[in-house]
Amino acid sequence: MTDTTRHATPQDSALGREVAYPRRYDASLLFPIPRAQGRDALGIAGTGLPFTGHDRWHAYELGWLDARGKPVVATATLVVPAASPNLVESKSLKLYLNSLNGERFPDFAAVRARLAEDLSVAAGAAVGVEFGLPPVEPGPQAESIDACETDITDYAPPDPGHLLADPATPVAEKLCSDLLKSNCPVTGQPDWASLRIAYRGPRIDRPGLLRYLASFREHAEFHEQCVERIFVDVLARCRPASLSVEARYTRRGGLDINPWRATPGALPPRPGRDPRQ
């Protein structure tokens, strides 16, 4: 079982370090990071979350041995609830999954049970595990804001002052952008994502929204924290009656992550993958 109390900050993780791939199964490789570390900066306290949601991981490189020692390969979808006390650092998840490569399991059900147990302990809440991946969608079911004509001069820190809305023009619409980029807070590596925003309320100014998303370009924060920041800023500045924010990040190390946050009561978006993933 993973000891979720032994880790403190992202700097204590394997990120940015040369680490040998594990030869044996080791659940202790999973590195939980308390969500409170990012939420405190947003004024989100304890269990009083202003959103519902989840983090949907897609694992493309998963393998183990069957009972006779024959290699088995698979893909998997992992769903971590946003209400869990911890997120799981991505490199640690990659190392953990690779630690299964030499482990024997009698069947798929045993692998699924092992994954669910270990990930749930690390996250501090029940994690969903299903084999397979959602389909690649031919295009977003939303209107892109990326062609908006606007000058952009600031790329960090994220500036919610760019967010404007017209209360005289209530709408219900879905917007998207492929231009979201931020950086890993430990290694500085770039993280790329497509963002989808669905809302009902005052019409959001599209050039302002694009300038706001561009202001993440040199910002250093984990994927999940970026999405929560976007949700909190749009909710506070634009005052929508309902709001859904989903980011689909491109793959790294055989994993991609798709954090989703929405006003309570919202139905989760249909699982899918972008062509960039």
Q: Which residues are catalytic?
A: 184, 191
Q: Is 252 annotated as a binding residue?
A: yes
| 117 annotated ligand-binding residue | no
* Residue 94 labelled as part of a binding site: no
For residues 93 and 58, the answer to whether their CB atoms sit within 8 Å is no
CA 266-141-55 angle, to 5 degrees, is 45
CA distance 256 to 247: 11
Measured over the CA atoms of residue 39, residue 40, residue 46 and residue 51, the dihedral's sign is negative
For tokens 């998303």, what's the residue?
213
How far is Cα 86 from Cα 82, in angstroms, rounded to an integer?
A: 9
Judge whether 89 is annotated as a binding position. yes
| 161's tokens | 């002052």
Say whether 273 counts as a known binding-site residue: no
Confirm or deny that 70 is annotated as ligand binding.
no
Between the alpha carbon of residue 190 and those of residues 181, 187, 221, 222, the distances in Å are 7, 9, 10, 11
61 marked ligand binding residue: no
Which is nearest to 246 in space by CA: 124, 123, 140?
Answer: 140
Q: Who contacts 18 (Cβ-Cβ below 8 Å, separation ≥6)?
A: none
H helices of 68-205, where?
A: 90-98, 108-123
Q: Is 91 known to sit in a ligand binding site?
A: yes
Give whole-number Cα distances, 188 to 16, 118, 126, 267, in Å. 9, 28, 31, 34
Q: How far apart, in Å, are the Cα atoms of 67 and each of 103, 108, 110, 111?
A: 9, 11, 11, 12
Which residues are annotated as part of the binding site for NADPH?
90-91, 252-253
Which residues are annotated as part of the binding site?
88-91, 223-224, 252-253
Which residues are annotated as part of the binding site for substrate?
88-90, 223-224
